Chains A and B, each alone.
Chain A
Amino acid sequence: MNSARLQRAAVTAASSILAVGVALVISAIILLVTGKDPIKAFSTLFGAAGDTRVLQGMANRATPLMISAAAVAIGFKMNLFNIGVEGQMRVALLTTAVVGAAVDLPPVLHVTFCLIVAMVAGAAWSGIAGYLKVKRGVNEVISTIMLNFIALSLVAWAFDDFFRVESATESLLVKTEELPRSAWMPDLVDRRLNGMLIIAILVLVVFWVLIWKTKFGFRLRASGGNSGAARATGVNPKKMILISMLISGAFAGLVGMRALLGDVHAYQNNLAEQQGFNGIAVALLGRNHPLGIFFSAMLFGFLGEASGRLQLEDIPKEITVIMTGTIVLAVVIINEAVKRWDDRRIQRKAAATLEAERVAKDAVTA
């Protein structure tokens, strides 16, 4: 790695850390104004980092966030904004719960089959937005927002009218038929950390290889960066849009699988709620890079897991939601400011080099 790239990576990391710092300061102010002790709050929150159980919970919570952030990030690389991860995830959840319970397969194969069904279902739903974008020129931000709500209604209706089972078990919650044991994703640490984490890390690796190590990824980044130039070199931007939307949807389909295959083993209302939306924040903080996403997901997972401890100190745990929102806003603002500063720095450097060349040339002619 050359020094310019290293420098750039350092600047990126520093600006993300700065954003988290700014968010902490703002949350501290909010805590102070509302009569709570920020020092006690933060020491409770970060003191939890020493507890193994909290760390396991953190990784468990980070699992879906990593996947949904990867789904969002792959769109960003193509200059596409897939806000529809939540809806794609929801469609995939119900489809997988129903299809997975209907088939009978040996253990490993069954889980694999379920994951594939989820990816296909997610891709099918995101494909609608992709098709509308490519064929009808509909902005994907608007169409995915609308499709989120349509998915929500459609899934709620299908669940209520066709797939819910009134079970005689202890739970009052209405669910779909339970998946057979062969379709369960095993836990790494019993009831604390699910094996889906490995799939999530695999998704990040696939994402990295796909975008930075393949010809397809190069084309994708090229058409995201400068579509005119990409088209001139023979890349079909419409095809790239459709493909990246489909891959994004396929990832989105996997987001809810920790909750479905690893935890509840059946579909129920509000299952894995918000996990698709939260991926957007994680992708932004992680700057659309797999490593960044990994750490951001862990941070958000940690905030979610440790927030429960605040309740004991009579501090509303919702302060961590405020923190999350502030982090996102701070990170995008700081990124822009840093980018502008960096541009100016490079411009100044170039100007200085040019000036030096001119002086040297003048000296020669003289």
Chain B
Amino acid sequence: MTATLTDTTVKTGYWKSLSTARRTMIIWLGGLLVLSIVRIITDADDITSSGTISSTLRVATPILLAGLAGLWAERAGIVNIGIEGMMIVGTWCGGYGAWKYGSWAGIAMAIVAGCLVGLLHAVATVRFNVDHVVSGIAINTLAAGATEYLSIIFFKGQAGGGESQSPAGKGGYGEFDMPFLSGGPIGSWDTPDILSWFEKKNDWPLVPDLAGLARGLTSDLYLPTVVAVAIVPLSVWILWKTKFGLRLRSSGESPQAGESLGVNITRLRYQAMAVSGALAAFGGAYLSSVFTSTYRQGQTGGQGYIGLATTIFGNWQPWGVFRGALLFGFPTALKFRAEKNVPALLVVFAVALALLAVYMVWRKRSVIATGALAAAVCLVIAYNVIDQVPSEFVAATPYIVTVIVLAGARQQLRPPAHAGLPYRPGDSH
């Protein structure tokens, strides 16, 4: 939230002249500075602690994968409401595979199954031209029913398993810490934990927050998390730097144009949906075999839809999806780690809204400025009055933010032009 607001806040000529990398850095540092100030004011040390950041990364990974699944599908021109269903299939296969053959087998099985479900969506939408949303909803229903059915067949009566739960999976993924930065060992030598030392300097501004962020991203890492994060730059490279990616994006922007240049749109869309399904299912398997070690019915709990929201929030850009996943995962992670620090988020929101108000005064949009300022004041009052944010609000934050972004910042959003529209090869000739 803060990051996007800062994004719109400083949009001047100078801002535009900066390179993307530099802009990204300024946005992240700005966001961190806000968090740092709030941390010192409210004494909520946990909002930037390495533990919270590390937990955020873990909570955010399935959301990130679901968001990337949405991105791959929509970039090729297919709206994928079925992400939730593909994740459900992933959780089941992850749980089953981890129980039968070990943890990595679970992820592998999930990816294969996800590909197949993705292809099913592609057959319906590309081959038969079925409405994308309808097909997605059917897939969600089908996935829920099929996994419930299969659980009864395979898990019921097994030790540790049941009608709606798999037995515990075998083998973990091994957590590791980065040497020197976060005290990970090299051989038998425990390297010094440098970041931890900086993180403990609580009364300094910004430094402990930066150290917390860096340590959070380099300690207690699971290998699947690293793989998931690595998919972000990989997606950027494939979609924006390769011939295949250019063609895939042409399928999402203007399939007629691509077709007239000899691109096989149908095949591309099948490929994109296979990737999309695999990513979503990987996210599901992460939930059932990395984040926890058993499959449970209803484990996804709408994270597929949060992923869809992340695709929009991230403006159909991989790094945007990454940013969105972290922001959406943050409140949940904070709630897990330190419930008493959650109210400090209200102040973070208030500061963000105050910044927006300043920007809107500058842009001479008095109505929005007044509204934002009033909301900021309300949040500060709320912070002083209550001692606990109801967990329902933490859960609803991603959805509320998405609605606000869609309603308020639509000009900044640029979805693929042809996503979700019906298309038949050869129709335009």
A residues adjacent to B (C-beta < 8 A): 30, 34-35, 81, 83, 132, 136-139, 141-143, 145-147, 149-150, 152-154, 156-157, 160-161, 277, 280-281, 284, 316, 318-326, 328-329, 332-333, 336-337
Residues of A within 8 A of B393 (CB): 153, 157
Per the bound structure, the CA–CA distance linking A215 and B138 in Å amounts to: 34
Pair B141/A318 contact, Cβ less than 8 Å: no
Residues of A within 8 A of B175 (CB): none
Pair B396/A153 contact, Cβ less than 8 Å: yes
Residue from the list B138, B395, B406, B407 in contact with A325, Cβ < 8 A: B138
Per the bound structure, the CA–CA distance linking A281 and B137 in Å amounts to: 9
Pair B138/A328 contact, Cβ less than 8 Å: yes
B99 within 8 A of A: no
Pair B137/A328 contact, Cβ less than 8 Å: yes
Residue from the list B152, B309, B392, B407 in contact with A154, Cβ < 8 A: B392
Pair A318/B145 contact, Cβ less than 8 Å: yes
Residues of A within 8 A of B131 (CB): 332
Residue from the list A156, A328, A336 in contact with B392, Cβ < 8 A: A156
CB within 8 Å for A329 and B139 given contacts A142-B312, A153-B395: yes
Pair A147/B403 contact, Cβ less than 8 Å: yes
Residue on A with the closest CB to B415?
A139
Other than the known A149-B399, A321-B148, A323-B145, what 20 A-B pairs have Cβ atoms closer than 8 Å?
A: A30-B149, A35-B153, A83-B137, A132-B406, A138-B406, A141-B81, A145-B308, A146-B399, A150-B400, A318-B149, A318-B152, A322-B146, A328-B138, A328-B141, A332-B130, A332-B135, A333-B124, A333-B130, A336-B129, A337-B128
B302 within 8 A of A: yes
Pair B403/A154 contact, Cβ less than 8 Å: no
Task: List 30 A-B pairs, Cβ < 8 Å.
Answer: A30-B149, A132-B403, A136-B406, A136-B410, A138-B403, A142-B406, A143-B403, A145-B308, A146-B403, A149-B395, A153-B392, A154-B396, A156-B392, A157-B393, A160-B390, A277-B137, A277-B141, A281-B137, A281-B138, A316-B152, A316-B153, A319-B149, A321-B144, A325-B142, A325-B143, A328-B134, A329-B138, A332-B130, A333-B124, A333-B128
Residue from the list B128, B133, B408 in contact with A83, Cβ < 8 A: B133
Interface SS, A side: helix
B305 within 8 A of A: yes
Residue from the list B152, B305, B407 in contact with A149, Cβ < 8 A: B305
Pair A329/B400 contact, Cβ less than 8 Å: no
Residue on A with the closest CB to B309?
A146
CB within 8 Å for A141 and B392 given contacts A281-B141, A318-B149, A324-B145: no
Closest 4 CB pairs between A and B? A321-B145, A325-B142, A153-B396, A157-B392
Interface SS, B side: helix
Most chain A CB atoms below 10 A, which of B124, B142, B395: B142
**Separation in Å of the A131 CB from the closest CB of chain B?**
9
B264 within 8 A of A: no
B402 within 8 A of A: yes
Residues of B within 8 A of A326 (CB): 142
**Separation in Å of the B408 CB from the closest CB of chain A?**
8
Mask, B139-171, CB within 8 Å of A = 1, is 101111110111011000000000000000000
Per the bound structure, the CA–CA distance linking A211 and B338 in Å amounts to: 54
CB within 8 Å for A145 and B138 given contacts A137-B410, A153-B395, A157-B390: no
Pair B152/A332 contact, Cβ less than 8 Å: no
Residues of A within 8 A of B135 (CB): 329, 332
Residue on A with the closest CB to B424?
A340
Pair A321/B141 contact, Cβ less than 8 Å: yes
Per the bound structure, the CA–CA distance linking A320 and B142 in Å amounts to: 10
Pair B133/A136 contact, Cβ less than 8 Å: no
Pair B392/A321 contact, Cβ less than 8 Å: no
**Separation in Å of the B390 CB from the closest CB of chain A?**
5
Per the bound structure, the CA–CA distance linking A35 and B153 in Å amounts to: 9
Per the bound structure, the CA–CA distance linking A281 and B149 in Å amounts to: 19
Residues of B within 8 A of A332 (CB): 124, 128, 130-131, 134-135, 138
Residues of B within 8 A of A154 (CB): 392, 396
CB within 8 Å for A136 and B145 given contacts A150-B396, A156-B392: no
**Separation in Å of the B8 CB from the closest CB of chain A?**
16
Residue from the list B137, B150, B395 in contact with A280, Cβ < 8 A: B137
Pair A325/B145 contact, Cβ less than 8 Å: yes
Per the bound structure, the CA–CA distance linking A261 and B308 in Å amounts to: 36
Per the bound structure, the CA–CA distance linking A147 and B408 in Å amounts to: 16
Per the bound structure, the CA–CA distance linking A4 and B327 in Å amounts to: 57
**Separation in Å of the A25 CB from the closest CB of chain B?**
15
Residues of B within 8 A of A319 (CB): 145, 149
Residues of A within 8 A of B410 (CB): 136-138
Residues of B within 8 A of A152 (CB): 396
Find residues 102-143 in chain B having any chain A CB closer than 8 Å to their own CB: 124, 128-131, 133-135, 137-139, 141-143
Residues of A within 8 A of B133 (CB): 81, 83, 141
Per the bound structure, the CA–CA distance linking A156 and B79 in Å amounts to: 30
Pair A146/B402 contact, Cβ less than 8 Å: yes
Pair A329/B142 contact, Cβ less than 8 Å: yes
**Separation in Å of the A340 CB from the closest CB of chain B?**
8
Per the bound structure, the CA–CA distance linking A323 and B305 in Å amounts to: 24
Pair A136/B124 contact, Cβ less than 8 Å: no
Residues of B within 8 A of A281 (CB): 137-138, 141
Residues of B within 8 A of A81 (CB): 133
Per the bound structure, the CA–CA distance linking A157 and B390 in Å amounts to: 7
**Separation in Å of the B316 CB from the closest CB of chain A?**
13
Per the bound structure, the CA–CA distance linking A326 and B143 in Å amounts to: 10
**Separation in Å of the B288 CB from the closest CB of chain A?**
18
CB within 8 Å for A322 and B142 given contacts A150-B396, A316-B149, A336-B128: yes
Per the bound structure, the CA–CA distance linking A138 and B137 in Å amounts to: 20
Residues of A within 8 A of B407 (CB): 132, 136, 138
Residue on A with the closest CB to B147?
A318
Pair B145/A149 contact, Cβ less than 8 Å: no
Residues of B within 8 A of A143 (CB): 403, 406
Residues of B within 8 A of A137 (CB): 410
Per the bound structure, the CA–CA distance linking A83 and B395 in Å amounts to: 20
Pair B142/A149 contact, Cβ less than 8 Å: no
Pair A322/B145 contact, Cβ less than 8 Å: yes
Per the bound structure, the CA–CA distance linking A83 and B138 in Å amounts to: 13
Per the bound structure, the CA–CA distance linking A114 and B390 in Å amounts to: 29
Residues of A within 8 A of B406 (CB): 132, 136, 138-139, 142-143
Residue from the list A139, A147, A149, A321 in contact with B302, Cβ < 8 A: A149
Residue on B with the closest CB to A316?
B152
Per the bound structure, the CA–CA distance linking A136 and B407 in Å amounts to: 6
